[in-house]
Amino acid sequence: MADYDYDLFTIGAGSGGVRASRMAASHGAKVAVAEEYRVGGTCVIRGCVPKKLFVYASHVHEEIEDAAGFGWTVEGARFDWKTLIANKDQEIDRLNGIYIRNLAGSGVEIIEDRAIIKDKHTIHLVNQNRDVTAKYILIATGATPNVHEVPGHEHAITSNEAFHLEELPKRIVVAGGGYISVEFAGIFNGLGVETTLLYRGEEILRGFDDDLRTTLHTEMEKKGVRIITGKVFDRIDKSGDELHATLSDGSVLETDAIMFAIGRNPNSQGLGLETVGVEVLPNGAIAVDAYSKTSIDNIYAVGDVTNRANLTPVAIREGAAFAETVFNNNPVAVDHSIIPTAVFSSPEIGTVGISEAEARKAFGRVDIYKSTFRAMKHTLSGRDEKTMMKIIVHPQTDRVLGVHMIGPASGEIIQAVGIAVQMGATKAQFDATVAVHPTAAEELVTMKTPEPQPDAIAAD
Ligand code: NDP
């Protein structure tokens, strides 16, 4: 393939771009990847990984409180934000190094630069001011936090900055009702920050099963998070060290920090897409087919920039499928229909398959099995926290359509349950599985009686 400098040029060394590049190289392709920030991408550098480390930090507070019920006295416990940040940075540096070594070890050339597509086989490297050519181009540039551009929005931060705050604020308002907002509200609250969550809709986590949404809302409030719904910011004013946020109903929140977590926009701007004619959807996402091919036949795109399911494991799958399709002559399309996922809120959520509302819309009557209970640990800790598990079953086929849970380790549990749901397991097969005792997860194989149907409740 002497006609081009590279067989594959990947733009963006995040989860999707790195996996695609390494796999393409393993199939014998000559590959380069351009990255303008840090190798590893959002998930490793300023997303899932540091977030989960923060979540662990935020749980310690409750573990110390819970210790008393088990006979422990913990004295003099105090939290130091700077230590957490330094240790987190050290771990992120380590992972960044591993990513760089893995790419290099796979024979992928890393180019630290911003890349712009000049024509369908030419990429311009901005800082180095030179052009390179490639047979295939993969766009894996991810997404960037959205900001509600009200007057004074420049005083607010996003998750990008939250990972590097010099000081932990005393008070914070987190705007949004999605993954990042509920996760960071839990983190800040657990670390002792007076936390308010501001959401424009009626109930947080739109799109999730309603029982998860209401249970999380209740449990977050019990832990001390103030949740305001049905309002947005009208303006933000800075007064000394304080921020005054005027809401849409005219009320004012006084706070020390404001964080926007109101969704992320695909990074499709400034890449030269219009020059080559790559189709971009109105929401900024690059349009792709089932094999991640764009409207230009040698240009592909994977991960958040395509706005399909914006999750790291999905981007990795899409990257791998692309490499398999293009460089191993084995067309693979990623199945986006059943994706287990966790929200690392406090308490944690694990979910796979469709919600009760979606199931009723699709099938009319469905069987719902639900269990709400206090986890065994809290019989001694005294903590008033509820765990909720729910299974949605197709009444004719008995197939499990969805499993939704909130409570400790839900993310860990849902990974295993996801296998069963992915395989098309029936409720009878769940029931035939022997319980692991004593665990919370055993509820998933011991729920015997479905909830009364809504029409039956109405008829009562
Ligand atoms: P989400 O799409 O999850 O949530 C966005 C939230 O912001 C919604 O509540 C939305 O409201 C609200 N919103 C959107 N626009 C506005 C606006 N103009 N003003 C006020 N509110 C607004 O986005 P996140 O930013 O939380 O996360 C981005 C993505 O990252 C997620 O979708 C997820 O795929 C991924 N992620 C995954 C994690 C995980 O796997 N644990 C963790 C973190 C992120 P409404 O509901 O009314 O539209």
Beta strands of 95-156 (E only): which ranges? Answer: 109-112, 115-119, 122-125, 130-139, 143-145
CB-side neighbour CA atoms (13 Å) of 409: 10
Q: Which ligand 1 atom is nearest residue 201's CA?
A: 47
DSSP for 157-226, please give it. B-HHHHTT-SS--SEEEEE-SSHHHHHHHHHHHHTT-EEEEEESSSSSSTTS-HHHHHHHHHHHHHTT-E
Q: Which ligand 1 atom is nearest residue 48's CA?
A: 42
Q: Which ligand 1 atom is nearest residue 145's CA?
A: 25
CA dihedral 307, 314, 344, 386 (to 10 degrees): 100
Ligand 1 geometric centre to CA of 345 (Å)? 13
Domains of the chain: 6-145+265-327 (3.50.50.60), 153-262 (3.50.50.60), 341-459 (3.30.390.30)
On the 0-12 / 13-18 / 19+ scale of CB atoms within 10 A, 69 is middle
176 CB near ligand 1 (under 6 Å) = yes
Query: pTM value?
Result: 0.96
* CA dist., res. 101 & res. 50, Å (int): 20
The predicted structure's pLDDT at residue 454: 80
312 CB near ligand 1 (under 6 Å) = no
Which residue of 264, 304, 307, 314 sits with most ligand 1 atoms within 8 Å of its CB, as the best mutation to test the pocket?
A: 264
Angle formed at CA 18 by CA 288 and CA 329, multiple of 5 degrees: 60
Closest residue by Cα to atom 47, ligand 1, is 201
DSSP for 388-437, please give it. EEEEEE-TTT-BEEEEEEESTTHHHHHHHHHHHHHTT-BHHHHHTSPPPT
- Render each residue's pLDDT in the chain as its tens digit; 460 residues: 459 999 999 999 999 999 999 999 999 999 999 999 999 999 999 999 999 999 999 999 999 999 999 999 999 999 999 999 999 999 999 999 999 999 999 999 999 999 999 999 999 999 999 999 999 999 999 999 999 899 999 999 999 999 999 999 999 999 999 999 999 999 999 999 999 999 999 999 999 999 999 999 999 999 999 999 999 999 999 999 999 999 999 999 999 999 999 999 999 999 999 999 999 999 999 999 999 999 999 999 999 999 999 999 999 999 999 999 999 999 999 999 999 999 999 999 999 999 999 999 999 999 999 999 999 999 999 999 999 999 999 999 999 999 999 999 999 999 999 999 999 999 999 999 999 999 999 999 999 999 998 876 555 5
Contact 397, 363 (CB under 8 A): no
Contact 252, 222 (CB under 8 A): no
The predicted structure's pLDDT at residue 457: 58
Contact 13, 40 (CB under 8 A): yes
Ligand 1 geometric centre to CA of 98 (Å)? 29
Ligand 1 geometric centre to CA of 311 (Å)? 12
The predicted structure's pLDDT at residue 459: 53
179 CB near ligand 1 (under 6 Å) = yes
